[in-house]
Chains A and B, each alone.
Chain A
């Protein structure tokens, strides 16, 4: 699965006479473990609804959207499987998952953020590569047309009557009436999106590395005035965006979320590319000339 990178590096080596020794530095697996299948998500700029809670003039405000750009990256095609996670548990590097269905080729669920984080560290060591949880923005880009984000507006409908919003949100949630789907599904069951990433938006919500934050907006122009980050609570994406305390393994335990709780909590990882390779690759994508002319941005 490193075809792409290897090609890029070899190509660069041939073209630029990069010392072959550098390839060794460039992030080849240190062990023989087969790393997961990834999909390449091309660089993109999306209209992104910011996660968190927002206040303007001391009152709940709608989450603003901003155009956000992301460089190309690689993300696991599928969610981490129960079998793969089990290896980390066997190695003593991960806590057992709270949910252990009979099947093996199912995504691991019943894992909290700390478990997902521990797995990423173990998996990086096991593969000799650098793996981490995706940011909420990366997951938004990678999930493409399946991305939902916040399903309900948190805006205070009537600034003098907070109950109007509570009643509206309650009615919206009742109307949405999502049926729970607790049965574990084989990986791939929910199919691929347009970028080749499987199962996003199925019955497994995915942990991100993005912390919940409460953001104060300028009441006039809506610009961000300040934010208080709470990294005890993380953004999760799936059928709808939710916020979950880092120690929660069961979606029904909720975090500070509204809405029907997630059926299951799982995750997939992003593979960090070594800076050198990313640079060469990026240069190759833009054309070698830009690299030499100094206009390429690495």
Chain B
């Protein structure tokens, strides 16, 4: 996590850099080889690896390593098990953060213990089906892809093998997010710099678990055994679960997200497959990039924002009141019945000016 002070200090450095000539449109291998390299260790969601909001150096090659992990995952409090497929062992896959002009260099590993070919399609990348055509690997193989982050914003990445394998792998958990920040950081609608104290990354997943003749969720011994039934449920387009962070309740209770009154939080919301409409109950989106693309000015003061299936959006909010906030998909049936609810626990002083219970509940006076 970076403090706002650090972020603001970075602005000066960025202003200096802005005066430098931009990296030529198409750098050659020698030029790229001369760039500084940074190795990033990914962090499981809803957290995000340490990063600068304002770049203090010029473009670099940012190295990431992601093993693909096929494993059963419990997705609700009833013990329903998904034959999961994950980037780096988590649903959603970890969030990567770079700056515009950086090169993302990903080593994707499909360990021998897996059973299926996988790849990765970065919506932030240009060409080769987002890299999918250059990254298809079998169990026991790894591949290294480099792409230049040329557009700023929050972008989905996901597995995209072929045919019906594509949606199946995605709704089995294989999606994540990359955030490409402007080198000089985020700006508000007036073009003024804005920064966040914390970033939370919420990946929303729709799951399609088949049921048995009694209506109970079925479990399977392997991905292959679950495939045909799951495909049938998928084709009905009615998810059995709509969850944040891979499981119903994954961001509640012990794992509720924490903030303080006065803290500014960037909430990145990603959905690789299906439309959703995040809403912070009792709060707002101060600045919201619904489409997630920072070259567009953010919308202000939103109550609910729309995330298109296959995209990630970002909302910046400064908490003004303490309390327990529910962060939901405001299709409330999906929020309450299917699992799309997270919680923020916010500590701090209550602001009577913003809200006060003028009179406590009591009997209705009889006159």
List residues of chain A with CB under 8 Å of any chain B CB: 98, 112, 114, 162-163, 166, 212, 214, 228, 230, 232-233, 245-249, 252-257, 261
Contact = CB atoms under 8 A, between A and B. Distances in A.
Given A98-B228, A114-B224, A232 B164 contact: no
A228 B137 CA distance: 10
A249 B139 contact: no
A230 B161 contact: no
Given A114-B224, A212-B138, A256-B117, 19 more contacts: A112-B224, A162-B134, A163-B127, A166-B133, A214-B141, A230-B117, A230-B138, A232-B139, A245-B116, A245-B165, A245-B224, A247-B222, A247-B223, A247-B228, A248-B227, A252-B164, A253-B165, A253-B231, A256-B161
Contacts of B231: 253
Interface secondary structure of A, over-half rule? mixed
- In the A-B complex, the 4 residue pairs with the smallest Cβ-Cβ separation, listed nearest first, are A247-B224, A254-B163, A230-B138, A232-B115
A256 B139 CA distance: 13
Contacts of B164: 252-254
B128 interface: yes
Contacts of B225: 247
B283 to A, nearest CB: 44
Contacts of B68: none
Contacts of B189: none
Nearest to A255: B162
Interface in B203-228: 222-225, 227-228
A254 B168 CA distance: 13
8 contacts: A166-B133, A214-B138, A232-B115, A233-B138, A247-B222, A248-B227, A252-B164, A253-B163
Interface string B104-128: 0000000000011100000000011
Interface secondary structure of B, over-half rule? loop
Contact of A256 (B115, B134, B162, B222): B162
B220 to A, nearest CB: 10
Contacts of B265: none
Contact of A230 (B134, B139, B223, B224): B139
Contacts of B134: 162
B179 to A, nearest CB: 28
Interface of B: 115-117, 127-128, 133-134, 136, 138-141, 161-165, 222-225, 227-228, 231
Contacts of A257: 162
Nearest to B129: A166
B136 A256 contact: yes
A104 to B, nearest CB: 23
B224 A246 contact: yes
A233 B117 contact: yes
B26 to A, nearest CB: 13
A255 B136 CA distance: 12
Contacts of A246: 224
Given A232-B139, A245-B224, A249-B228, A254 B162 contact: yes
Contacts of B228: 98, 247, 249
Contact of B165 (A230, A249, A254, A261): A254
A228 B140 contact: yes
Contacts of A249: 228
Nearest to B141: A228
B77 to A, nearest CB: 29
A166 B223 CA distance: 30
A162 to B, nearest CB: 7
A231 B30 CA distance: 40
Contacts of A162: 128, 133-134
A230 B140 contact: yes
Nearest to A246: B224
A277 B162 CA distance: 46
B235 to A, nearest CB: 12
B128 A261 contact: no
A246 B117 CA distance: 12
A173 to B, nearest CB: 13
Contacts of B162: 254-257
Contacts of A212: 138
Nearest to B226: A247
Question: Which of A246, A248, A252 is the most central at the interface, judged by chain B CB atoms within 10 Å of its CB?
Answer: A248
Contacts of B117: 230, 232-233, 256
Contacts of B165: 245, 253-254
Nearest to B117: A256
Contacts of A254: 162-165
B302 to A, nearest CB: 40
B178 to A, nearest CB: 22
Contact of B116 (A163, A214, A232, A252): A232
Contacts of B128: 162-163
